[in-house]
């Protein structure tokens, strides 16, 4: 019989490895592995989600006009240059599908998001991994890697799992020095957590002033809606027009649209989540540093704790699991000595710090 073969590139995709969410033998776990909001969604968003149930027989809006108008209002953006997707992952997929294909190269960086090479291969394109310098994206190394086949550059800013920020002037330099026919995609999944002193606009000004820059954002992180699957992109109108051609007309449910809008409009809740994150992020980084576990200054809702080596990171992870605490190993992101730890609420941060203290004391004993 003849083999039914998939398109080139598809079988090169490794199946996505999700982080753990259970520990054998533990009924209560403290999950600090997926950068979820420890406070959950806004109570107003929960109420809207519950009230949406009786209308689930109705097809949703196909143009997402209300959610786009709300995003435009809150972020002071033109709603006609916004597109919504099933998580920002889907928006990233539209971009790769529309602008790359076999023979094209897609640049991403050493510790970049694992979805980027997957998306490139889905489109038949070739992912090209560029080193970072001390866990920070290096604009010159990206520019050096550009060839005549490069079509797209992915930048996660702030980075995941590094938590570091490429300063605005460096992002602007990258945009200016990339050839005009190459798209720069700025993935701002953690943009809401950036420290105010960084004066960071997530790439909005670059989208407004250039024809080849796209910004993506998500409701999965600070809005606590990872399970709902809503994200959005902001791009020049010509690009939005292209992306909308591959978007399925009913990609977002009416429940998703209404819930995301309610979450977006609850600014008091957002402020509380950001304040708590900033407070406990600094507290936790300080505690771990005092225990001999340094981390780079984080602009996100996690820290990348660095141990002496992979052995120590794995031993610490094993101890955390005995206490029902789940963090993310990041050897697959080129950081074998690291553990990525989501900032929990006060109780979660204190439990984590106490466990790492016990690990360090046990190692000394």
Ligand X SMILES: *Cc1c(COP(=O)(O)O)cnc(C)c1O
Residues that bind ligand X (CB under 6 A): 87-89, 113, 156, 160, 187, 189, 218, 220-221, 226, 231
Q: Of 144, 118, 134, 103, which Cα lies nearest the Cα of 14? A: 118
Least distance to ligand X, CB of residue 156, Å = 4
Q: Which residue in the shown chain puts its C-beta closest to ligand X?
A: 87
| CA 243 from centroid of its chain's CA atoms | 20
Map tokens 């090479």 to a residue: 117
Closer residue to ligand X in complex, CB, 99/219: 219
What DSSP designation does 219 have?
S
Least distance CB 231 / ligand X (angstroms) = 4
Least distance (Å) from ligand X to the CB of residue 188?
8
Nearer to ligand X, 72 or 226 (CB): 226
Residue 225 vs 356, nearer CB to ligand X: 225
- Closest approach, Cβ 160 to ligand X, in A, equals 4
Q: How far is the CB of 323 from ligand X (least distance, A)?
A: 25
CA pair distance 93, 119, nearest whole angstrom: 6
Peptide bond into 347 cis (omega under 30): no
Bond from prior residue into 158 cis (ω within 30 degrees of 0): yes
First to last CA, the chain: 64
Could you tell me which residues come within 8 angstroms of residue 154 by beta carbon, excluding any fewer than 6 positions away? Answer: 92, 106, 107, 108, 109, 112, 113, 116, 185, 187
β-bridge pairing 302-306 and 82-85: unpaired
When the beta carbons of 156 and 321 are compared against ligand X, the nearer one is 156
Q: How far is the CB of 108 from ligand X (least distance, A)?
A: 10
**Minimum Å distance from CB 333 to ligand X?**
11
Strand 231-234 versus strand 82-85 pairing type: antiparallel
Among 207, 204, 184, CA closest to 194: 204
CB of 67 or CB of 351, closer to ligand X = 67
Whose Cβ is closer to ligand X: residue 42's or residue 160's?
A: 160
**What are the strands of the beta sheet with 328-329, ordered from one edge?**
302-306, 338-342, 328-329
**In the complex with ligand X, which residue's Cβ is closer, 190 or 359?**
190
């Amino acid at each position: 019989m003849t083999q039914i073969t998939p398109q080139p590139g598809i079988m090169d995709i490794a199946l996505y490895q999700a982080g753990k969410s259970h520990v054998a033998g533990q009924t209560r776990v403290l999950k600090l592995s997926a950068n979820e909001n420890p406070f959950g969604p806004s109570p107003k968003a929960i109420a809207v989600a519950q009230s949406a149930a009786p209308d689930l027989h109705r097809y949703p809006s196909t143009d997402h006009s209300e959610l786009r108008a709300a995003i435009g209002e809150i972020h002071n953006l033109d709603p006609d240059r916004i597109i919504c997707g099933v998580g920002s992952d889907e928006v990233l997929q539209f971009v790769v599908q529309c602008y790359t294909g076999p023979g094209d190269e897609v640049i991403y960086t050493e510790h970049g998001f694992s979805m980027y090479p997957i998306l490139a291969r889905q489109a038949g394109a070739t992912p090209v991994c560029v080193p970072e310098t001390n866990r920070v994206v290096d604009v010159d190394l990206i520019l050096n890697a550009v060839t005549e086949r490069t079509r797209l550059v992915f930048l996660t800013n702030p980075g995941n799992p590094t938590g570091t920020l490429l300063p605005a002037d460096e992002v602007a330099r990258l945009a200016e020095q990339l050839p005009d026919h190459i798209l720069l995609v700025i993935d701002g999944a953690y943009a809401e957590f950036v420290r105010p002193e960084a004066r960071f606009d997530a790439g909005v000004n670059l989208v407004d002033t250039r024809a080849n820059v796209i910004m993506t954002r998500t409701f999965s992180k600070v809005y606590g809606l990872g399970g709902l699957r809503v994200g959005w992109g902001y791009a020049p109108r010509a690009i939005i027009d292209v992306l909308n051609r591959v978007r399925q007309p009913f990609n977002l449910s009416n429940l998703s649209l209404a819930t995301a809008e309610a979450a977006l409009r609850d600014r008091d809740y957002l402020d509380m989540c950001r304040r708590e994150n900033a407070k406990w992020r600094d507290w936790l980084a300080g505690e771990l540093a005092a225990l001999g576990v340094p981390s780079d200054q984080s602009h996100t809702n996690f820290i990348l704790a660095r141990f002496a080596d992979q052995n120590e990171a794995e031993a610490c992870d094993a101890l955390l699991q005995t206490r029902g605490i789940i963090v993310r190993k990041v050897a697959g992101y080129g950081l074998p000595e690291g553990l990525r730890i989501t900032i929990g609420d006060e109780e979660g941060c204190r439990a984590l710090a106490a466990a790492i203290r016990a690990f360090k004391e046990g190692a000394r004993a």
